[in-house]
Chain A
Amino acid sequence: MTGSPPTRVVVLAGGISHERDVSLRSGRRVADSLAEHGITVTMRDPDASLLGYLVENRPDVVWPALHGASGEDGALRALLGYLGIPYVGSTPAAARLAWDKPTAKELVRRAGVSTPDWITLPRETFRELGTASVLETVADALSMPVVVKPAQGGSAQGVTIVTDAADLPRAMVDAYTYGDVVLIERRVVGTEIAVGIIDSGDGAVALPAVEIEPVSGVYSFEARYNAGETRFFTPARIADEVAARAASAAVRAHEALGLRHLSRVDLVVDAAGEPQFLEANVLPGLTETSLLPLALEAAGHDLGWVYEALARAAIADGAPAR
């Protein structure tokens, strides 16, 4: 373990993103775990008074448990860097790369990890080239089924699995309702897994893969946040060599994006046993039903101990503004 022990931690949770509710749940869980270790924790919902508060109170470390834009797009992390306040998690530049799903896919693909074929479609593309011709081309190129999702954001919000090309337009509308850029990805049917990565100063370590088996067949918002709606297997029910490949792919993705401290890499293992990268999460969900805490507990870790270790690592790593 590196870094001096934190005594005062500010956990940021809430915000005005679509994932506010999830963020509040994650933040409370982190705060409780740290408090059980004797750390003085203050939870703050970021608002116009936040930066002034941080300057005045100068906590040892900030834990941004903010899902959605402000917590994951790097902006808040850059501001913390300029204020010289250490924070848990990735640097602003790395966060921005991972936050944008198409960029992350491209970088991870270049690092030698497979990822399902995809196309990125800003809203303007349809304005210029016409909806029908673009969608027809996409449907032919990727073939059904596909996954339509906003290029940014999490918790499966705005995500639709499309099995019939006739449903593609409606799925596009649902995704564009969340943001102006949409990713259409060929759907790979296989074993869905999530690999948590922890790096508290001794290098990136892949946690046991968690296999996800939603009751409804789709890992939707409801399946994510209602206990009982998804069955999790830790470690995943995959062959040892496949698990090793998945762990290696996850670490490569984490490193290719330049992430630090913690992340969660979502993969699907295809019929040939090949792990395919779906996305990386700079701030994985840390709620009662989230995958990273599940993996940590399955690996025998105490959540509070790990979160404290990450806070120590953040103090040791300083406060990068880039």
Chain B
Amino acid sequence: MTAHGTTSPAGTNLDPWYHHYAARAAGLSASEVRALFAVASRPEVVSLAGGMPFVSALPADLIRASFDRVMTESGPQALQYGSGQGTPALREHILEVMALEGIRGGVDDVVVTTGSQQGLDLVTKLFIDPGDVVLAEAPSYVGAIGVFRSYQAEISHVTLDDDGLVPEALRERIAELTAAGKRIKFLYTIPNFHNPAGVTLTWQRRIEILEICRENDILVLEDNPYGLLYFDGPPPQAMRSVEEDGVIYLGSFSKTLAPGFRIGWMLAPHAIREKLILANESAILSPSSFSQFVVSEYLSTADWKGQIEVFRGVYRDRRDAMLGALDDHFPELTWTVPDGGFYVWLTLPSALDSKAMLPRAVKELVAYTPGTAFFADGGGRRQIRLSFCYPTPEAIRLGIRRLATVVDGELELLDAFVPRAQSPEHTDSRARSEKVAGPPPNIH
């Protein structure tokens, strides 16, 4: 028996607005890799994928006390719209925080944002026309790549090593792009405890890179969410500490306090700052007044420097657990050794493809972020980012043990099917297959 159906000669694609989307919306789509990350939220799975701060190390009473005082003393103002630049009180506190990394600035040069992610968006909106070039480390933060793409920037990666961005490679890349008639707008860099690579830019290189950018009229966008989360000693001072006119600095309370407040900031040269304030008002009217009041109160009354020291201890233990487990299970592989932050960057055997291996990892109840997420040009197949910030040391050791099983299984499979001459390093048979690639997962 057949039920009676309706006829639609043109068919339907289930989205009547499909042909109305802006070109910059290309790539905003569900992907198989992104769907696999849904499993990472299950308690059985050890997730080494996400960059979630371990907020349980923040005493709830500290925050509750700040909440109570804000509501008692400033309730109506905290619940009201605010200024597009942020409250003066919070901006004063932000100057104190930045001073710890050698940055001196005026309170009027700070613009509070909804997380530093929004700062990234505003700067990109302000400077990028379609086709303009953004220079970024290879690899670079997946969330930044997403923003740059959404404004149709051309992302050009520059080599990174254990000491951070390589100045000579930067110089060469600028020369190549300039010769090709490209317009380079800014260099995006994460100098401290890089996401995803875990490395830190040396002081000498900071100076050299600033000189190169100055010589070539290239603005530097310095993103520093992890600088205060050092383990063995503070990193070199911020690039903004020695260069005021050519650097826009992005800071955040997401890692040193909690991401739920969604409070970040920008410190920008005066002229740029004026435009950023207008752009911020245009985008969101004002950052959350309530969050700003609570964060200000916390910074006024709590031992916030002591709390950062607590976070350092937690993350140091977890970093040590991860490095120890990697030593135990991957004696033949290489990885970066971070002095702070959240991430280790692991390089797999040349035959392996970190993205293709992810389903096997999910089956073995361990999740990671494939290296391809951190490149705009298809790089990173051999790398994976391992986050040690959220799981306990025991879970980290279990996760790395499972990952070793995954790598062994995948290697055995590749040995059987794909001769070394056809490994991803040499050729990519996938390019000839009919698979549809999705965008990188939005894992921060």
Contacts and interface: CB of A to CB of B under 8 A. Distances in A.
B434 A172 contact: no
Interface residues of B, number: 49
A166 interface: yes
A110 interface: no
A231 B15 contact: no
A164 B12 CA distance: 33
Contacts of B363: 18, 178
Interface residues of A, number: 74
A227 B18 contact: yes
Interface string B30-49: 11101110110011110000
Contacts of B362: 18
Contact of A222 (B3, B31, B360, B418): B31
Interface string B1-45: 111111110011111001000000000011110111011001111
B410 interface: yes
Interface string A69-113: 000000000000000000000000000000000000000000000
B14 A227 contact: yes
B426 interface: no
Nearest to A170: B429
A47 to B, nearest CB: 7
B39 A16 contact: yes
B13 A235 contact: no
Nearest to B419: A169
- Which of A45, A47, A162, A225 counts the most B-chain CB atoms under 10 A from its CB? A225
B13 A231 contact: yes
Contacts of B435: 160, 218, 220
Nearest to B361: A177
Contact of A164 (B5, B44, B432, B436): B432
Contacts of A176: 413
B433 interface: yes
B27 to A, nearest CB: 11
Contact of A217 (B5, B414, B434): B434
Interface in A27-73: 45, 47
A213 B11 CA distance: 9
Nearest to B36: A18
A126 B416 contact: yes
Contact of B436 (A169, A177, A222, A227): A222
Nearest to B429: A170
Interface string B390-425: 000000000000000000001001101110001000
Contact of B357 (A177, A207, A288): A177
With most chain A CB atoms within 10 A of its CB, the pick from B31, B35, B430 is B35
A198 B3 CA distance: 10
A221 B32 contact: yes
A243 B7 CA distance: 13
B118 to A, nearest CB: 26
A171 B3 CA distance: 39
Contact of A228 (B8, B13, B416, B438): B13
A299 B4 contact: yes
B234 to A, nearest CB: 41
A162 B430 CA distance: 10
A211 B31 CA distance: 22
Task: Give the secondary structure class of A's interface.
Answer: mixed
B6 A203 contact: no
B263 interface: no
B356 interface: yes
Given A160-B434, A229-B29, A20 B15 contact: no
A116 B72 CA distance: 73
Contacts of A255: none
Contacts of B30: 221-222, 225-226
A22 interface: yes
Contact of B356 (A155, A177, A223): A177
B17 to A, nearest CB: 8
A143 B29 CA distance: 34
Given A22-B35, A127-B416, A173-B417, A206 B11 contact: no
Nearest to A167: B429
B353 to A, nearest CB: 9
A228 B413 CA distance: 36
B428 to A, nearest CB: 9
A127 B413 CA distance: 10
Nearest to A23: B38
B356 A298 contact: no
B32 A177 contact: no
A198 B6 CA distance: 17
A299 B6 contact: yes
Nearest to B417: A169
Given A234-B6, A299-B4, A177 B413 contact: yes
Contacts of B39: 16-18, 20
Nearest to B365: A16
Given A173-B418, A207-B3, A289 B14 contact: yes
- Closest 6 A/B residue pairs (Cβ): A208-B5, A228-B18, A21-B38, A227-B15, A228-B15, A21-B35
Interface of A: 14, 16-22, 24, 45, 47, 123, 126-127, 131, 155, 157-158, 160-164, 166-167, 169-174, 176-178, 198, 203-208, 211, 213, 215-218, 220-223, 225-235, 243-244, 247, 251, 288-289, 294-295, 298-301
